[in-house]
């Protein structure tokens, strides 16, 4: 979830993309913490229908659906997803392919939320809670953005995918490095 005004993100590891699972995660990690938003912008995926759709109706949330063929309709969230994938690729190259990705999610989310956003000039955490986030010291180390270490098994399709350069649309290419300043894509 991306809160569009502050750019604050909530990421929840889930076992599947079923509407019931999405609704439960939304209830526990958004509604229980922040209350109901006025609206929720979702893509046209089946996971945002059924139980999730009913949850939005019950909570008086205006559920808006972007076109499935136009991910740029929710460009901010798409950019966050791309940035998180970039970080997970880095972690996979550092730790190997057998790391527990869900255990690495919280440091990435905290780093993102605690970092100053170029678009607002302020960290999402600061905008939302009116104070700076306290970031554990081990997350404050400078990020290593080198994606060129040798890989032992480059025949593995998963490794080839990890080595593919992140997508770039011009000026956005450096955004990932900018938001990483407080904690970086570090795997603690």
Q: Is 185 in contact with 87 (CB distance < 8 Å)?
A: yes
Upper half-sphere CA count for residue 50 (Cβ side, 13 Å): 12
What pLDDT does residue 46 have?
A: 85
Residue 159 has what pLDDT?
44
CA 46 to chain centre: 20
Q: Check residue 178 and give its pLDDT.
A: 33
Please determine, for residue 91, whether its predicted confidence score (pLDDT) is greater than 50: yes
Helix, strand or coil, per DSSP, at residue 65 = strand
Q: Is 186 within 8 Å of 104 (Cβ atoms)?
A: no
Query: What would the pLDDT profile of 122-152 be if each residue is shown by its tens digit?
Result: 999 999 999 999 988 887 764 554 433 444 4
Q: Give tens-digit pLDDT for 34-85.
A: 999 999 998 888 889 899 999 999 999 999 988 767 767 777 888 888 888 8
Diameter of the chain measured on Cα atoms: 53
């Amino acid at each position: 979830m991306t809160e569009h005004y502050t750019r604050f993100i909530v990421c929840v590891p889930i076992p599947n993309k079923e509407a019931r699972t999405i609704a439960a995660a939304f209830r526990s990690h958004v509604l229980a913490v922040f209350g109901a938003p006025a609206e929720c912008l979702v893509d046209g995926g089946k996971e945002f229908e059924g139980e999730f759709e009913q949850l939005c109706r019950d909570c008086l949330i205006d559920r808006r659906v972007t076109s499935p063929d136009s991910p740029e309709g929710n460009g901010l969230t798409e950019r966050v997803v791309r940035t998180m994938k970039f970080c997970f690729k880095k972690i996979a190259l550092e730790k190997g392919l057998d790391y527990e990705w869900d255990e690495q999610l919280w440091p990435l989310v905290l780093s993102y939320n605690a970092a100053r956003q170029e678009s607002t000039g302020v960290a999402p955490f600061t905008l939302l809670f009116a104070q700076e986030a306290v970031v554990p010291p081990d997350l404050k180390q400078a990020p290593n953005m080198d994606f060129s270490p040798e890989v032992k098994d480059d025949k593995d399709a998963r490794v080839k995918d990890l080595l593919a350069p992140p997508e770039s649309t011009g000026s956005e290419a450096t955004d990932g490095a900018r938001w990483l300043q407080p904690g970086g894509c570090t795997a603690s």
